[in-house]
Amino acid sequence: MNFNNGTSGHTHEFQNIIGKNNKAGLSKDQRVSFDGKMDVGTNGIVS
């Protein structure tokens, strides 16, 4: 992922995903959604 000017890349980590109903959806505009909980990190630091 980069900022709009194409610099300062960074990463996101999604771990320990627990889905509420084991379903995920992809909308027409390519957005993914699901109902549940997960741990989220940025640049290798998960909170």
pTM, full prediction:
0.49
Tell me the backbone φ, ψ of residue 7, rounded to 5 degrees. Answer: -115, 180
The string of DSSP codes covering 1-47 is ---TTS-----EEEEEEEEEEEEEEE-TTS-EEEEEEEEEEETTEE-
For residue 7, what pLDDT is reported?
62
pLDDT digits (tens, 9 = 90+) for 8-42: 667 778 888 888 887 777 888 888 777 888 888 88
Give the residue extent of every domain in the chain.
12-46
Cα atoms in the 13 Å half-sphere on the side-chain side of 28 = 0
